[in-house]
Structure 1
């Protein structure tokens, strides 16, 4: 059985200097039991990088964040241990990894970054 992971990005614009984070893909399908990775690319202005999940007819919920300078991770309470975050500073990328993927993981995933100065958001 295949899973479908959809994700969008929140892009933050801060004054004259742009802050951005963008997904590498906007729709991902993955077979059940596989290692599934969602990736976003961020710019130098990021301090914290976040991942959120939204299920149909539900509000988005915080999953993980990673502090860029120390790579310290904060996990949501009761987060499934199959879900992790990985930072690639050299490539300016942040991954959400799910292994093994399950049908119940299907949903909308958001990557976001701090500083979050405005509420301007764009859907890709």
Structure 2
């Protein structure tokens, strides 16, 4: 686990490295507050360069050469304290049929 900390009111950057990252990928940020389920709060929709953020203090930068996505939080607050997750689309690879069989087998035992 990697933790980032900053003073309230300053900026903090959270970085996510993905070895197959390209600028045309779509990605989604989620955060999980203590005792709560993960919630969606930010996305980048591939080459369209469209952003959806629920809070204007959040911005992003795609560093394709570094295979890295940075999420910046300006004017960080104690209430931003959470576990942050990044998912790149597609998030599931491999044989979906095999995955389904395993899930079905597991649920019947």
Which category describes the TM-score, using the shorter chain as reference length?
Answer: 0.7 to 0.9
1:105-124 to 2 correspondences below 5 Å: 105-117=80-92
List gaps (5 residues or longer) in structure 2: 94-98, 100-109
State the Cα RMSD in Å: 2.1
| Residue pairs, 1:1-124, within 5 angstroms | 26-44=2-20, 47-75=25-53, 79-117=54-92
Task: Map Cα deviations across residues 63-92 of structure 1 (whole Å, 9 max, x no partner).
Answer: 1111343432233xxx12111222122222
Say how many residue pairs are matched: 92
Instruction: Tell whether the 8 Å contact from 1:65 to 1:85 is kept in structure 2 after alignment.
Output: no
Which consecutive unaligned segments of at least 5 residues does structure 1 have?
1-7, 9-25
Structure 1 or 2: more helix by fraction: 2
Moved more, 46-55 or 33-42: 46-55
Max radius of gyration: which structure? 2
Report which stretch shifted further, 88-97 or 41-50.
41-50
Runs of 4+ in structure 1 off by over 2 angstroms are: 43-47, 67-72
TM-score by length of 2: 0.72
The alignment partner of 1:104 has SS state of helix
